[in-house]
Amino acid sequence: MKNPVAAAGATLTLILVAIIVWVFLNPGFAKGQIEDYARKATGRTVEIKGGGSLMFRPRLSVRLTDVTLSSPEGQDGTLVKAAAIVVPIEWRDLLNRQLRIGTVILKQPVFNLTNDATGRASWTDPAMPASSEGRVLTLIAEDGVINYLNEKSGLAFAIKDADFQTTLAENDELARAAPPASTDASSASRPM
């Protein structure tokens, strides 16, 4: 452009458009909402240590990386650690900065299921808050590992390459969820 004022105006307009697009498309708002949702629904702590990004295929979604769900109070470790979680959203969720969580897809999750020496299971928790909203959550695990340890008997096994889907009413315990329907041919149960 020969006119320096027009060039400066075009540059400023481009910068403003980029900032507006970034503000509307930045999924950072989702981190706190997902942590809060999980805390209210399970009574446990969710930590999202990684970053967030938007996915546009196969459907508009928020993807958050390095996610953990704590074991019940009094038990060490984490119940679930996932490389990433994907939460499908609608455009209005993004524009309103308000998630309506109905499906959570766990990418490469590792489930650590333990019965401690007293028989208490890590996937149940009597202190779990009571449901008031009756929401339903579809949980999908892709390429996961399920580790099980019974501290009292010493029984331990792992299931690898597990893909499964379950639907839970808010605050259902995993104990009432359907077990994995199937796993890949490469899955194996073996002592850990």
Min mean pLDDT across 25-29, 43-47, 137-141, 183-187 is at 183-187
Give the pLDDT confidence score for residue 18 in this predicted structure: 66
| 186 domain residue, yes or no | no
Among residues 86, 136, 65, 142, the alpha carbon closest in space to that of 111 is found at 142
**Mean pLDDT computed over 24-51:** 81
> Is residue 3 situated within a structural domain?
no
More confident residue, 17 or 80: 80
Number of domains in the chain: 1
| Cβ 81 vs Cβ 98: under 8 Å | no
| Position 167 confidence tier, pLDDT thresholds 50, 70, 90 | confident
Which pLDDT does position 192 carry in this prediction?
40
22 is a domain residue: no
**Residue 65 within any structural domain of the chain:** yes
Is the residue at 162 inside a domain?
yes
For residue 122, the enclosing domain spans 29-176
Q: Which residue has the tokens 């969820």?
A: 177
Give me the half-sphere count of Cα atoms (radius 13 Å) on the Cβ side of residue 190. 6
Place of tokens 């077990």: 179
Residue 113 is assigned to a structural domain of this protein: yes
Instruction: Answer whether residue 141 is part of any domain.
Output: yes
For the segment 116-166, what is each residue's pLDDT rounded down to a tens digit? Answer: 888 888 887 655 555 545 667 888 999 999 999 999 999 999 999 999 998
